[in-house]
Structure 1
Amino acid sequence: MTDEGPLAGVDLVVFDCDGVLVDTETLGPAVVAAMTAEVGWPLTPDEVRRRFLGRPEAYLYEQVRAHATGPVDADWLAEYRRRVSEAFAARPHTMPGVGELLDALDARGLPYCVASSGGHPRIRHSLTHSGLWPRFAGRIFSADDVARGKPAPDLFLHAARESGHPPARCLVIEDSPAGVDAALAAAMPVIGYTGGPTAAETLAHATLGTVSDLRLIAAKDHYDRLLAEHYTWMLGG
């Protein structure tokens, strides 16, 4: 735990992966839209985001099977992962400010991890192709690890427990309404990240508000204000 500075009171920072660390949120919805159209369920990328952003892959597959008018092969999800990986390999990069924020956390000795709705293979692929794998290896938690994915709190509680930190001292950074809901259910402070395609109003219920620049999270004046607001909220003030 850091004893002073902008991240005082936080023992662990928990990052979502897609759309927070790695720029995949413009790729995944386009792939899903193409694949749902193939089985008779036409969706736009924006509709895909609204329905599935932050949800586990198993939920996506269940919904496709429920709504498709054509046959959905047993390997549909594997094909989805293959297409996303192929698309991402052609354009791998981190979200703006990720490196600077991680450097700031390292300088403070503040640990961090990933807790993502993606499966372990997809998370590893995303982090490897973006160059972030060495910074998170051994500290990665997936919806594969728990019975219920986001918006249930299970994944975040699992990450906190395995990392050895109490939930109330774990700061979550999320870009999806389902992820924010999961953090709230886990009684963890959460910041909504709007630097990608997610509209700020859909993350307005994040207890520490929203940021469009990840570097602001390590900025003392900005973070101290958010932290004070959070603990006022926790105390019912």
Structure 2
Amino acid sequence: MTAQQLIIFDCDGVLVDSEPLAAEAYERVYEKHGMSGVGPGIIAQCVGMKQADIIIRIKELTGHHLKPEQEIDLWTVTRDLFSEKLNPTDGIAPFLGTLKTGRCVASSSSLERIHHSLDVTSLAPHFGDAIFSSSMVKRGKPAPDIFLHAAEKMGVAPANCVVIEDSPFGVQGAVAAGMIAIGYTGGGHTFAGHGEKLKAQGAHAACANWTEIAQTLNGLGFKL
């Protein structure tokens, strides 16, 4: 009997092309509260982290600190940008439409943001209730907690899971969980050397599109 298999998808930058919009939201909110210089270059160093950790990292990088009462603006601005401009990553809808392997989402974002992202891009029906947020676990990526939590809830051994991630932090977490990581570099925030950075953290491969990911999964013995 073949062991059950699971594909774990990150959300931001993998399922939805959200990272440029998220960076714009951070820049707008910090500017609103009199803190300039929190641009795409700063946010790029935080991709894959949960919001609380991003705010800490921005303070480390720039000295700017967003107060708790100001943080609510982040979701308000992000939600509006997503509602207006968010798209699924190119090719993900047909990939999911024919996928027979078990799948779930494991994201550093809040549940509200994940659901909004999937609803806006019409990807929600592909996952149902199989959606997991770092808010459900003690530690965010690069810790393995969210991936282990997802595998446990889905009833699949970590060794039979593949994680598709766009960030070095996410790849680190997947590898620490004892899972195979595949790097995805097809989002709007991709940069020169992106794939090499993901492989340096232990990604089995770095793929620029969903056709390449399908080929890699087939090579790993996953039944698509």
Quickly name the TM-score band, shorter chain normalised.
0.7 to 0.9
> Counterpart of 1:217?
213
Mapped to 2, the partners of 1:23 and 1:10 lie a distance apart of 29
1:202 aligns with 2:197: yes
**Change in 2 beyond 3 A, CA 1:40/1:69:** farther
Shift of 1:125: 0.8
> Counterpart of 1:28?
22
Mapped to 2, the partners of 1:152 and 1:70 lie a distance apart of 25
Percent identity, please. Answer: 36
Which has the larger Rg? Answer: 1
After the TM superposition, which of the residue ranges 75-84 and 177-186 deviates more from structure 2? 75-84
> Counterpart of 1:144?
135
Mapped to 1, the partners of 2:58 and 2:203 lie a distance apart of 32
Structure 2 length normalisation: TM-score? 0.87
> Counterpart of 2:84?
90
1:117 aligns with 2:108: yes
> Counterpart of 2:66?
72
1:185 aligns with 2:176: yes
> 2:42·2:61 contact (CA, 8 Å) conserved in 1?
no
> 2:58·2:64 contact (CA, 8 Å) conserved in 1?
no
> 1:104·1:218 contact (CA, 8 Å) conserved in 2?
no
After the TM superposition, which of the residue ranges 68-77 and 173-182 deviates more from structure 2? 68-77
1:43 aligns with 2:34: no
Shift of 1:65: 5.5
Amino acid at match of 1:33: E
> 2:55·2:66 contact (CA, 8 Å) conserved in 1?
no
1:170 aligns with 2:161: yes
> Counterpart of 2:49?
55
Shift of 1:141: 0.2
Shift of 1:131: 0.6
Helix, strand or coil at the partner of 1:210: strand
